[in-house]
Chains A and B, each alone.
Chain A
Amino acid sequence: MKELTKHYLPIIKALIIPYLFFFFVLFYPIAYFVDTPGGITEVESIISVDYNQDKEITGTISSTYIVSINRPTFFQFMLSSFSDYNYANVIRGTYANYTNEEINQISYLDKETSVNAAVIVAYQKAQDLNQDIIIDYYEKVMVFGKATYLSYYDDIEFGDEFLYLIGDSDQVVDDHTQIGPNTQNASSYEFFFKNSEGETYSRILTKDEETNLFGITLKLYYLVNKDTIFPKYQEQSSNIGGPSGGLLQTLAIYNMLVEEDITKGLKIAGTGTINYDGSVGYIGGVEQKIITAYLNKVDVFFIPFLSETYTYDNYLEALRACEKHGIDPTGWLVPVASFQDALDYLAGLE
């Protein structure tokens, strides 16, 4: 070792500063996000239903993911600028206050609740054709957002269940929509939560003086009752988060439940969240998802189309992305407003 060090010392001396600078570029994070094309994942590899096991599914139904890098390093940021397919911008809104770990927590919470919504919608639809199918679900109000001024910020985790609070006149308030009207007389109230390990805990939350809010966002979810559901389904762990696979998950689960093969041998992909009433919702990263679909040569790509006049409507954004990258959207880019629209489109295919 000594011989090598002695021999290469002039080179080592010359390169030490560029070397350290390169490390800085590799590790220094910046307050941007970078969206890049990702891939498609067959829903069947994540969710399987113990039903119709002999049914032959000739095509595939896949959700589309993109790679979203929050607070990239300088090096990643520079790399992203070399391709038109990538999109980089400053982190804005509530996400600017969240750490990367918290953004991941929200993303996986979204994914988990999205799968539940997909199961509920698909099973309910399949019930119309098969009365043996049973779907039962329950409500759960969970922590979905936290402001920086939230008291006990670190104690309350995303996904923790809101149980109740002790409101004005010592009234127990378990309806999250009634928190406002029942917390008028004081600035601090005791909230009760249940964490992911099933432990109940309480924290006294104080309203922020400036906003007069507690700084916590609660959201109502419907979760599948796995004890009573028929047929049972299995969900594999996944590295991909977010709710944007909801529509395609619904289609794939529905296809596993019904006799007919709705894929008709096609490579079907798409994007869009699914709501409990079967309508679809907007997603982000449209441009990168369109490129991903194009690179993966899908036959059908479903995309939410909810308004002809809204500039940032996903379908209109997709058309702009196609034009920008010279992609012909004819025949494969399919705008949908609901799960039923997607089913109708597939039913209409030869």
Chain B
Amino acid sequence: MDLITPGTGLIFWQLIGFLGLLFILIKFAWKPMLEALEERESSIENALKSAEIARNEMANLKAENEKLLAEARKERDEILAKAHESSNRMIEEAKEEATKAGNQMIEKAKAVIDTEKKAALAEVKTQVATLTLEVSEKLLRKNLSDDKAQKELVDEFVNDLKLN
């Protein structure tokens, strides 16, 4: 057989054999294999994608958590500051009120004392006036008799005064 002249027999069998193999392999080997490969590749790709998504979600959650935490911390600080401020204010107010109330009481007491003083003085004045009148009356009455009598009267009054 020649080296560079293709033999008809071999061409014939090669064509039949190769095409037969091609059809058998396409149907029973390459199709299921390529499909399985694609399926596996897509499942790996999906798994990678979902892992990426999960990772992103985790990161988001973490960031959100941190944000929430920071907010909470800020709020707490604010509340504390507010509480501090309001307590200070309350103390301040209480102090002010107490001072005010004390002052008022003092003033009221002063006023009462004043009026009491005035009333007492008025009463003393009326008493003195009445006494003076009585003394003058009695003096006048005794004066009418004699000096001795007058003197006795004065003494009597003085005694009376002492008795009072």
Q: Do A and B bind each other?
A: no
- Taking beta carbons and an 8 Å cutoff, which residues of A are in contact with B? none
